[in-house]
Structure 1
């Protein structure tokens, strides 16, 4: 039986169609906060994956083939920044997540997650480097985390990076698709939420349960590609890919098991049953799930003033769904879903709130775009 919260959420979701405003080359969409205007800030990005705002308002964008670029306020793309680690750019692999150090204004440290080529396969790794003052190169680049074991797969790298309020770094890592049962093995890094210090060390307050690798925060994850801190509580929220159905929103807590692949609300791509059902003692339930799947990717909580009605909503980009989902929240509950931008026909890879209080999106395409969403005038 499906969880009631999910059914109510999808029932409230609307396929919202918009109007074209030719003078501004925008599409407008009716929504709970009035019409939305979607503007192209920059194009010509090859499968952009991650977005981070620099203190001066410019943006760092990763491209999956292995390029890191700066986008200025006028949408101009820099030349690729030197010093980025070599990546395995096949399948879902490449240069992926990005985060700035909480003290970036002083230390200029940038963190990148990527599919690292290795002997015998590849794996999700995290490197950090110092962005030079000219914005042309990363220096002092060092890999601070390597997902182990190495696996020969081009799928399920996870790869969102989020700093918590203590300064520790959450890293989401997938179970590499071919190794899904290993998501239940706490001795390795497959299908886990990882928590490390900025230098790669282990925070003193990690779970450190018997049999658990010390870097592991939680287990039983499939492929988490969206992650954000709740603006009021500081709790990590994640958006996780299911198979056919069963995409999940979770709030991963220290030392807990989120079930994959023993419990899930989805089925396998063949239609076959996965695991034991939808619930099992000792395994956590999602706050919300999608069935059918929307293939959720980047996620961000909204705290700006452009849409005061949306404060504390969680926005999640959808790949297969080609939409932006707004999840209304109350404490640690999802109270409903609204589907936005269903007409733009683009796979939304990342969602970030800008310093101007507007939403910025990356579209996962060969000619990918950086979009800005604002209230229509």
Structure 2
């Protein structure tokens, strides 16, 4: 009888240790709220003077400077439904010369009822947007409320990449390059399509497509050293992914996946198939990722080079330590502050994080 208690204790310790190993560890850190009282800050970017442009999903563009919020005028009508609304924002690489700002949002313009993801640019003049110009509009519209995707990134050559989710139609859109949705796209800064895009010369293909077989990519960033485009995307129940995007590649959705239906049933029996890319990393259970940025400064010591990804579901910032393009460690930052929607490194080298129903916070390492 004397042996039973120690054995039980050892078993319990083993079980607890295994359970903890399946989840990212918590890391002690601090933060400062720099922009308070935001609802759903879907995206934000820094202007050359250090001020910020912030999109509110409900359809508002905010300029924040010296603790003052100013609403920017000149937006078109935003189609707000489900996960769709006013989404990402980035500056043109030569913003200081041309004042051009690029946006992703849901619009009801075009064929069919409902809306779909739209990419546009405009010139920022004081507190107004001028010369609004739609560069790409996904077709057709749909009243489904999910999977708008919508991250924006300029690469080092000045091409604009953007994501559009499968819009809830996984059986048709992601694997068909003649249809929009479930794709990563690449265009020139004026909306024209690069002639070296992988499907530019393929009959009936959507020529702006750069890669396909995606579910709902809500994170995209440029690797600061290699210049490669990294994305993450929502899986169903399990199977959220990190991918490095290459021209013309098929990332498998929904033919292969590490997830299952929300009701627990399977929609595929395979996780690999020839001609389809494997994710760099996947999560099971899903963390519901949104926002993505590399740490590329000396402000955080040996965290430099780590990848940051927001979790909507579990409400933390996931810091991924990478080695040879593999995630070898995950740590929870800003745990339980709220749903993490977007992540950016500021011009001062600090990391800024948009958190729903809180605002934008500055990450400080203790």
TM-score, length of structure 1 as denominator length = 0.88
Please tell me whether the aligned partners of residues 170 and 254 of structure 2 are also in contact (alpha carbons under 8 angstroms): no
Query: Aligned-pair distance for 1:203?
Result: 1.1
Give the distance between the partners of 2:91 and 2:302, measured in 1 at CA.
29
Give the distance between the partners of 1:173 and 1:278, measured in 2 at CA.
23
Which of residues 293, 309, 315 in structure 2 aligns to 1:316? Answer: 309
2:337 maps to 1:327: no
2:188 maps to 1:197: yes
2:152 maps to 1:152: no
Q: What residue number does 2:81 align with?
A: 90
Please tell me whether the aligned partners of residues 29 and 333 of structure 2 are also in contact (alpha carbons under 8 angstroms): no
2:33 maps to 1:40: yes
Please tell me whether the aligned partners of residues 123 and 130 of structure 2 are also in contact (alpha carbons under 8 angstroms): yes
Which of residues 175, 185, 189 in structure 2 aligns to 1:184? Answer: 175
Pairwise CA RMSD of aligned residues? 1.7
Q: What residue number does 2:339 align with?
A: 347
Query: Aligned-pair distance for 1:364?
Result: 2.1
- Written as runs of structure 1 = structure 2, the 5 A alignment for 1:76-225 is 76-78=68-70, 80-118=71-109, 119-132=112-125, 134=126, 136-208=127-199, 210-211=202-203, 212-225=205-218
Query: Aligned-pair distance for 1:343?
Result: 3.5
Give the distance between the partners of 1:342 and 1:359, measured in 2 at CA.
15
Give the distance between the partners of 2:104 and 2:331, measured in 1 at CA.
30
Q: What residue number does 1:356 align with?
A: 348
1:311-331 deviation line (CA, Å, top 9, x unaligned)? 221100110020101111234
Please tell me whether the aligned partners of residues 40 and 372 of structure 1 are also in contact (alpha carbons under 8 angstroms): yes
2:366 maps to 1:373: no
TM-score, length of structure 2 as denominator length = 0.90
Q: What residue number does 2:14 align with?
A: none
Q: What residue number does 2:11 align with?
A: none
Q: What residue number does 2:331 align with?
A: 338
Q: What residue number does 2:47 align with?
A: 54
Query: Aligned-pair distance for 1:210?
Result: 3.2
Secondary structure, in 3 states, of the residue corresponding to 1:45?
Answer: coil
Query: Aligned-pair distance for 1:342?
Result: 1.7
**Structure 1, 40-49 or 88-97: larger mean CA deviation:** 40-49
- Written as runs of structure 1 = structure 2, the 5 A alignment for 1:236-247 is 236-247=229-240
Give the distance between the partners of 1:148 and 1:228, measured in 2 at CA.
25
Q: What residue number does 1:28 align with?
A: none
1:194-233 deviation line (CA, Å, top 9, x unaligned)? 1011111111221026353210000000000000010110
Equivalent residues, number: 344
1:331-365 deviation line (CA, Å, top 9, x unaligned)? 43333222222242x00000001112111111123
Give the distance between the partners of 1:287 and 1:76, measured in 2 at CA.
41
Instruction: Flag structure 1 segments of 5+ consecutive residues without an equivalent.
Output: 1-7, 17-30
Give the distance between the partners of 2:308 and 2:100, measured in 1 at CA.
27
Query: Aligned-pair distance for 1:46?
Result: 2.5
**Structure 1, 161-170 or 116-125: larger mean CA deviation:** 116-125
Query: Aligned-pair distance for 1:70?
Result: 1.0
Give the distance between the partners of 1:58 and 1:112, measured in 2 at CA.
17
Give the distance between the partners of 1:329 and 1:122, measured in 2 at CA.
38
- Written as runs of structure 1 = structure 2, the 5 A alignment for 1:242-321 is 242-321=235-314
Query: Aligned-pair distance for 1:13?
Result: 4.9
Structure 2 CA distance for partners of 1:139 and 1:255, relative to 1, 3 Å: same
1:220-249 deviation line (CA, Å, top 9, x unaligned)? 000000000101100000010011110000
Give the distance between the partners of 2:198 and 2:318, measured in 1 at CA.
32
Instruction: Flag structure 2 segments of 5+ consecutive residues without an equivalent.
Output: 1-17
Secondary structure, in 3 states, of the residue corresponding to 2:174?
Answer: helix
Query: Aligned-pair distance for 1:84?
Result: 1.3
Give the distance between the partners of 1:337 and 1:278, measured in 2 at CA.
23
